[in-house]
Amino acid sequence: MLWLIIGILLVAVVLALLVPLVRNQPAAVDRSEHGFEVLRDQLAEVERDRASGRLEPESADAARLEIERRLLAEAESRDAATEGLGYSVAVGRRRRMLAAALVLLAVPVGSTALYLLHGQPGLPDAPLASRSAERVRMAEVAESRLGLTEMAANLERRLADQPGDVDGWMLLGRTRLTLGDAPGAVDALRRATVVGGGGAQAFAQLGEALVRANDGVVGQEAKEAFFQAIEKMPGEPRSRFYLGLANRQAGDLNEALKWWISLEADTPPEAPWRSILASSIQSAAAEADVDLAALRAKVRGDRRAAPGPSTEDMAAARDMAPDDRLVMIQGMVDGLAARLESNPDDLNGWRRLGRSYLVLNRRTDAVEAYRRAAELAEDDVEVLLDYAHALFPAGTSERDMPTAFVSVIDKVRRLEPENAEGLFFGGMIAVRRGDTAQARALWTQLVERLPGDSPVKAAVQRRLDALSKE
């Protein structure tokens, strides 16, 4: 039965392809005939105008002569085209016959060969029960998706009336991400970071949404979101994984492996992301051609030298009294600081120490740690901006802007003139220097680069409006 159906389909396809090829082609319409009709009409019109007196005899003779000249040229052109017509028709007929022969041979033979190579003619039909189960599963998926779509719509309506609901914005972001609307998720999660004061999970989820919206590439804005998450929660696993991925995408496989092996050491055996993490580590190690066992020993040895919150430590910390927990964290941070004094070239160590000091609200120590990191990476914009944020934290009065902060931002502007934070802070510095024209130019450039619904864009626009009133 199967082969009969295949044969009928093949015959139908071959006939559909052959009919246009073997059908007699109608003779091409001679386009010059239309030209002749137009010229004859013009000639008759000249005679009518002469007879009615609207055209002088001399003008009528000149017009008639011109029309007759064009008639002669048209006739010569048609004769030249007619000479090649017979040859063209014969060539076209031979080509159609050749194409028909190829269709008769190639379509049946090629289709049969492909089916025998890739098909399974002996495969039995799927049982009715399994087909029914598949249809039920597809219906459930469709119903679930419809439910998520309705939930997202309800959330949007509620958040329009309650824009300060950070949990609502985060739920909307996750829902949009599940539905495949990564740009919509970015918008919702960005709102969550603004209205909620920027919690670690909000920044981590925003970073992931930005990666998905960027076709899996960890861009600059996503990295900044992940670093913000780690600053607020140093062990945040999602951010650590993606920052490792950012290094891999940049070609720095060794740094990627350090991020991932460190995360692996803190990952419980039952964690859902453990298999993906292990696969990423194996793939990067194979590509970098490194001894994975030796690298694991080195990274974990460094971690032992600078005690960090292992899985057991985190479990114990949850059961501690707040004061005891703080003492434990400070002990780990002090251990990291001691290790860095004996290994002062560890760039990422200084950055981790700076973030840890910020969590402990030891801002003077954080500034010093970031300064040491900036000395090791003088041309790294991310490291310089870490230092700048420590020098001039959010909420600080612009009148108290330190000189070191101005120098760092000037350097960022030289290294990366279109960096968004460089443009923003550069405008603030220009205002402080009294150069309102420079401030206006930098902030205008920043406004043009920001998305239309960005809350930052509105804030920068307000600064521009204030400059215009001065």
CB contact at 8 A, 353 and 333: yes
Model confidence at 304: pLDDT above 50: no
In this prediction, residue 127 has a pLDDT band, given cuts at 50, 70 and 90, of low
pLDDT reported for residue 308:
46
Q: In the chain, what are the domain boundaries? A: 321-336+351-383, 401-470
**pLDDT confidence of 28, banded at 50, 70, 90?**
very low
Contacting residues for 424 by C-beta, under 8 A, at least 6 apart: 442, 443, 446, 456, 460
The pLDDT tens digits for 55-69 are 777 777 777 777 777
- At residue 93, what are phi and psi to the nearest 5 degrees? -65, -45
Q: What is the CATH code for 401-470?
A: 1.25.40.10
Pull the structure tokens for residue 80.
């030249």
Give the lowest-confidence range in 124-128, 163-167, 435-439.
124-128
What pLDDT does residue 29 have?
45
d(CA 453, CA 216): 23
Residue 387's pLDDT is what? 92
83-87, 269-273, 427-431: least confident range: 83-87
Region 297-313: mean pLDDT is 53
Q: Determine whether 173 is exposed, middle or buried from the number of CB atoms within 10 Å of its CB (0-12, 13-18, 19+).
A: buried
Q: How wide is the angle at C-alpha 331 spanned by C-alphas 327 and 334, nearest 5°?
A: 135
Report the C-alpha gap between 402 and 92 in whole angstroms.
84
Is 164 exposed, middle or buried, given 0-12, 13-18 or 19+ CB atoms closer than 10 A? exposed
Residue 418 pLDDT greater than 80, yes or no? yes
Q: Give the residue from 337, 339, 377, 343 showing the smallest Cα distance to 360.
A: 337
As a whole-number percent, the residues of the chain with pLDDT over 90 amount to 13
Considering only residues 121 and 281, tell me which one the structure prediction assigns the higher pLDDT.
281
Which amino acid, one-letter code, is at 210?
L
Is pTM beyond 0.85? Reply is no
The mean per-residue pLDDT over the stretch 176-190 comes to: 88
Output 349 or 13, whichever has higher pLDDT. 349
Residue 152: closest CA among 118, 113, 180, 111: 180
Side chain identity at residue 57, one-letter code: P
- Check whether 306 has a pLDDT greater than 60: no
